[in-house]
Amino acid sequence: MRALDGIRILELVRVAPGEFCTMLLADMGADVVKIETPEPPVDDARRAAFAFVNRNKRSIALDLKTAEGRALLHRLAASADVVLEGFRPGVMTRLGGDWATLSAINPRLIYCSLSGFGQDGPYRDHPAHDMNYLSLAGVLGLIGEADRKPAIPLNIIADYAGASLHGALGIVLALFARERTGRGQQVDVSYLDTTLELLAATPNMRYFFSDGVAPRRGAGFLGGSYPYYAIYETRDGKLLTIGCTEPWLWENFCRAIGRPELGRFARQPDQFVRPANAEEEAARREIEAIVRTRDRDEWFDRLVRADVCVGKVYDVGEVVRDPQVTHRQMVVEVEHPKHGTIRQFGIGIKLSDTPGAVVRAAPHRGEHTDEVLATLGLGTEEIRALRDTHVIA
C-alpha cells in the first residue's frame, strides 16, 4: 500500500516543474494520467523512458482544441480527484478545462494551477522563467560573490523548490480538507510567491522588517565571505565546503587544521547581513593556504573524524557513487519492457508504513490512450474513430 493509492490526477502541463509536482504524488501511489497533445514527441522513445519527472505515470494523447477532445477531458475530470495545469491564466478556459467548468462537473475536484505570477495581479499574463522569478523576488541579487554578477543557481529554486513542492503540498492539503468538507477547491500556486516565501525563511532576512536591514550579495554569514562558511580549493584542484556556523564546530575545524587560535573567528551576532571585515578575510586567506596542502578526500576524511561540517564538491558521476546516496536508495533501478534496466534517482520522502515506490518507467506520448479511454466505457470502434479523426493518438 502507498499513501495516495486510489487518487487519480489529470496532468496538463508542458514544462518539467509541473511534471515533477505530480511525480512526487505518483511515487506515493497516485494514478497520474498525463494529457498530452497528439504532436510527435521531440525525444525518442528510449530517452522518454528515462525521464525522471514522468515515471510512475500513464500518458494519453488528446487534442483539446477539438470539441470531441474537450468532451473526453470532461468525462475524465468527472471521476478524477485532482487536475493540475501549468499554463498561463486563460489558456485552460480556451480549452474548456478551467476551474469553473470542471468543478461544475465534479464538485469534489481539486484543481491546482501552477503559473508564474498567479491567477490575478498586474503581472498575471507576463511570460517568465526561473531566473526572472528569482530576480523579481530579490533572490538572484543575493547569490554569488559581491564583486561579480549574481550566480544563476540552475532552475532549482523557483521551479522546483517553489512551484513543484508547493504545488504538491497544496494538493495534499486540499485533499485533506476534502475529507472534512466533502468539497474540492482551487489551489493557486505562483512561482514568484513561493520564491518569496523561500527567501523569507532564510536567516539573512531575519531583520529586514524588524530593523530595516537588507542583506547584500556576498555578505552575511551565509554569503561565503566568512572563513567558517566558505568553499576551499584543495591540493588536487578539487573543492571542499566548510559550513561551521556553530562556534564549537568551528573550533573543531581549527583544531583539525592545527590552528586552534583561529577559533576566535567563529560566527558573531552582528554577521547576519554585514560582509567580512579585513581581519576576517585575512583569516580566510590563511585557511585557503592550509587547505591547499592536502587533497580533497584526505581533508574530508580527516575533518569528518574531527566532527566538522564538511562536504566534497562532487560532479554528478561522483554523486551516484557516494555511499550515503546509495545506502539511502537515492539511485534506483526500474525495469522497462523494451529498454531493459533504467537507473534513476530515488524517493526523497521515506514513509515507514506506506512508502513510495518507483514501479513504472516514464511513458512515451500516448502510450496508454486506449487503456485510459476504455475506463470511460469507450469501445474499440469508438477509439478507432477518434484516432482516425486525430482527436487522439
Residues in the chain where the model's pLDDT stays below 50: none
CATH code of the domain containing 274: 3.30.1540.10
Domain boundary among 263, 288, 313: 313
Radius of gyration of the chain from Cα atoms? 25
CATH code of the domain containing 382: 3.40.50.10540
Q: 171 and 111: one domain?
A: yes
Residue entry with cell 562556534? 247
Cα separation, 295 vs 259, in Å, equals 18
Structural domain boundaries, residue 250: 229-313
Domain boundary among 250, 283, 313: 313
Strand pairing category for 340-345 and 331-336: antiparallel
Number of domains in the chain: 2
Report, as residue numbers or ranges, the catalytic residues: 129, 159
Q: What is the pLDDT of residues 111-146, one digit of tens each?
A: 999 999 999 999 999 999 999 999 999 999 999 999
pLDDT at 41: 60
User: Which residues pair with residue 85 across a beta bridge?
Assistant: 12, 113
Q: 69 and 182: one domain?
A: yes
